[in-house]
Chains A and B, each alone.
Chain A
């Protein structure tokens, strides 16, 4: 899923500073799953902002609205009829959600309340680990299904650096060394020799060659 974390309350407070009527738009898919921008998180943030406004003696009108997917225009259509009543939208969607809303609603200022972090798996309750950077050229099978681009701090393609110790990354000892995992998985399945070949430089053109990537599927277009 796409993961995100809510920005600190002080930053959100500062960015909505001048506005009185705020439409808070949550998203019911990825960011709800990672407990950053779903209906519950919208309600929590709204109550925090109301409390803060009350303490400061400020008036604020907050409307909570969580749609199923903020990155799909059909769902954003639920926002369109009410948008004129508000000064600003505070989006609890990911970066794609904020921009899709901006595309559909060109006249209103949209402020992100989340920091989008990436593509992750749910390791355990309350723990999400990033494991894909969306490079556009998946070679996971070459690396025992552990992505070196994402999970090695130096994105090394040809083995561990010299700083891995007892399976921990030199950059952050809380992070397991991706290459320790790759080597262990290859050893356990008798495939370590596959690492003898030198992996050639990556084709980053598939990631950022000509600016933002676009997928066109003629069979899906009507």
Chain B
């Protein structure tokens, strides 16, 4: 059976793509993944599985992606360089392809000191830029680092992340250009709450001639509460939550705040669709995957295209 990346086909066909994030459980139960897969099936083109995000031990991303694959779903394997050296990374890239996983997202990962294994040794043998280059070379040239030839090549659609709101701001577009140069074919961004800043960033991306060279999916995280909005603003690194959003959540009755969060997410998606160079949306509903179908429907992104 030939397995192809649905995400790649949707983007190449010019459709506005929808991906969603699925966090694996802090346990070994495969049904948690299957249930999340069933919930998202038909509403998204591809499902990202996070790789021990925030440095907290969870069921492996590779295993979770394989479970989603068994359900006939297209998965994006998130792979961080924090926990594996180049031997393990390259080995897992081959393993992922063999299991029918067709998308990979290369990241450096949250620092180990932020999670529940503070005393762990951070590997960081390579960085996300170098991982992109390694995977690209494995796929396109059949070579691993050092130049040895592979007996067969992995089939992967290669992605990276970008945070338009991080510092130094003057370097963000250059950094994106560098990721594309390293091999990224698609980009998923940090959560967008500050639309004016995001538009400014996308303008710079277009001016740099990058919009034609990469598919960029804007990140959207629905807020569950005013407290979450404030937490994201103050405690999550690289997050830009404008006061207007916080005021809007605070001005909503507590039991209505989830709905307000969904409304903001829908409005954000609608705004993202109008920005030149935005090819899709990546919905990161943190431990709230149930919200995704409603957001996708309300944003007018149903039905998902046949490709």
Contact = CB atoms under 8 A, between A and B. Distances in A.
A171 B168 contact: no
B194 interface: no
A143 interface: no
Nearest to A186: B171
A131 to B, nearest CB: 17
Given A154-B108, A159-B175, A164-B168, A201 B238 contact: no
B133 A198 contact: yes
A119 interface: no
A184 B175 CA distance: 14
A195 interface: yes
Nearest to A173: B237
Contacts of A179: 168, 171
A162 B166 contact: yes
Given A162-B190, A164-B167, A198-B130, A204 B125 contact: yes
B4 interface: no
B237 A163 contact: yes
Interface residues of A, number: 32
A156 B175 CA distance: 12
B175 A160 contact: yes
A162 B168 contact: no
A166 B110 CA distance: 18
Interface residues of B, number: 36
Contacts of A198: 129-130, 133, 178, 181-182
B130 A158 contact: yes
A183 interface: yes
A192 B174 contact: yes
A187 B167 CA distance: 14
B177 A183 contact: no
B114 interface: yes
Nearest to B146: A201
A20 B108 CA distance: 51
23 contacts: A154-B122, A155-B122, A156-B127, A156-B128, A157-B127, A158-B182, A159-B129, A159-B178, A162-B238, A163-B166, A163-B238, A164-B167, A165-B167, A167-B168, A170-B114, A183-B168, A187-B170, A195-B171, A195-B174, A196-B174, A201-B125, A201-B126, A201-B130
Interface of A: 153-167, 170-171, 177, 179-180, 183-184, 187, 192, 195-196, 198-202, 204
Given A153-B111, A164-B166, A200-B133, 4 more contacts: A158-B128, A162-B163, A180-B167, A201-B125
